[in-house]
Amino acid sequence: MSDQIDDVVVVGGGDSGLLAALALKKMNTGLDVSVIDDFEEDVPQVGKSTFLAIQHILHEDLGIDERAFVSAVKPVWKASVYFRDWCGYPPFHYPFDQNRKFPNPNERDTNEGYHYYYDELHNSTDHQSKCEEMVSQGKSPWYFSPREGGTRKYDNVAYHLNTERFNTFLRDLCLDRDIGLIDDEVVTVDVANDRIQRLRGRNGAYEADLYVDATGFSRVLKREQSDEFHEFDLPLDSALNARSDLSLDEVVPATVIDTGDHGWFWQIDTFDNRDRGYVYASEYVSEAAAREEFVDHCDGIAAEDVVKYEFTSGYHERAWVENCVAIGNAEGFVEPLQSTGLTANAKASVTLATLLSGHGRVADDAVRERYNGWVSRSWEAIYDFISVHYAYADGGTEFWRDVQDIELSPRTEMLIEHFDRHGFDTHVDPAIHSEHDDLLFFRARHFYALMRNMGATSEFYETHDFELSDAVRRAVDQHYGAIEDDVADHYDHREYYHGVLGQH
């Protein structure tokens, strides 16, 4: 049996399936790729908020023209995750320019050591990073700079997407790039010893060298294979979702998070809608009570428009078994907090495609093991990132009390200990970072900022006094004052879409 892969059938035309098809085709010249989906069905509404790396993945790795994308999909630029209310802590951001706020020690400039004064400086809206300032001022990352040659963008941003427009754009791009879109539903999967022999749909039968299961939580191909599903220790398993109309003037360029009694609420603004959600743990509250709490929390949402989603938190330990690789929700999911899903799935597609191309399109056990190892580490890193939010979440209900005991990995424990001993110092033990360099969601200083915002103390700060000298204060004030002025000159979303792009 040859391990050479000449053709791929992707089952599922949600964003994961389409992105996988685009990545496989782009990085493997001559590969025949098609996607099967019941394309008449509505696209799921969730999956709107993305993470920083999405821009690089879409516009660099997949070579999607940014201007064409913006014109068609009309994204809102997301500058941060804004924890407006997280278990009663003062509001704080998880901005996408954390790296500038907590620079690498080797790159420190006049702000040297400024994070010793974290409590004094960072809890004040006078000292906001550019992303935080964009959220406060309701601005887009776009500005006009004759010196830089015209309209420019501050790059540390992600997208809020309208899922219908995004999906339509990806479908059109697939057709442009010679990827077949087959309108069908797979109803039977013929399997022998974990190897898929063929797929049978309502309209035909399909055979390929490699099958990609991108069927979301229904896992139509993957469930026919023997494989362990690793469940995470997270009680959240349900979400309510609804949207209302929004004018461009009202856009908040951040995913906004509030605490609920049995989970948390999101607010994600897109070009024409405000999308709201309530992620909750069903073992603590009935659906009816959760619906009531959700509708009470949100203005302008009618109870009959609320849609329910369910999910399991975990992943398949071997994403790729024999001739079938699962991607997207079919492979795994942690939970919606911090909006890691779409970006992580897109990154997985690029990783799969480059791995295949790097091996001359030969898929043997070694290639599969390598990919599966990366996927597992990726999910574990996302879990680590999410778990820290709950470990410090000091809420007042049974759900919030229980979730604080969430299982932490040895890596996360090590980071917490490191912060206790060294504070924000970013000379992290290389053992923590080296195996995570190729992952998206594991950066020590980002964890520290998050933890500090949720009241984490550090023995280092408790036992030493730091005097904020006038010189440092002046430098810091000057630095952040310039940022505030700078952002004031950015376009807001209406100015950018109407004025610069001429779109309405």
Which residues form the interface with ligand FAD (CB under 6 A)? 11-17, 36-38, 41, 44, 46-50, 185-186, 214-216, 218, 220, 239, 309, 311, 328-330, 336, 339, 341-343, 345
| CB nearer to ligand FAD: pick between 127 and 316 | 316
- Nearest distance, CB of residue 351 and ligand FAD, angstroms: 16
| CB nearer to ligand FAD: pick between 220 and 416 | 220
Give Dmax (Cα) for the chain.
75
| CB nearer to ligand FAD: pick between 239 and 483 | 239
Exposure string for 333-365, b = 16+ CB within 10 A, e = fewer = bbbbbbbbbbbbbbbbbbbbbbbbbeeebebee
CB 210 within 8 A of CB 21: no
| CB nearer to ligand FAD: pick between 136 and 339 | 339
CB 279 within 8 A of CB 300: no
| CB nearer to ligand FAD: pick between 257 and 476 | 257
- Other C-beta atoms closer than 10 Å to the C-beta of 312 total 15
- Nearest distance, CB of residue 157 and ligand FAD, angstroms: 15
- Other C-beta atoms closer than 10 Å to the C-beta of 44 total 17
- Other C-beta atoms closer than 10 Å to the C-beta of 112 total 12
Specify the residue for token string 């999906």: 167
- Nearest distance, CB of residue 186 and ligand FAD, angstroms: 4
- Nearest distance, CB of residue 493 and ligand FAD, angstroms: 19
| CB nearer to ligand FAD: pick between 13 and 95 | 13
* H or E element in which residue 332 lies: strand 332-333
Exposure string for 403-422, b = 16+ CB within 10 A, e = fewer = beebebeebbebbbebbbeb
List, in sequence order, every residue forming a beta bridge with 186; answer none if it has no partner.
201
- Nearest distance, CB of residue 70 and ligand FAD, angstroms: 19
Nearest partner of 158 among 21, 58, 277, judged by Cα: 58
- Nearest distance, CB of residue 221 and ligand FAD, angstroms: 9
Q: Which two tokens stand for residue 202?
A: 């309502």
- Nearest distance, CB of residue 275 and ligand FAD, angstroms: 8
| CB nearer to ligand FAD: pick between 14 and 395 | 14
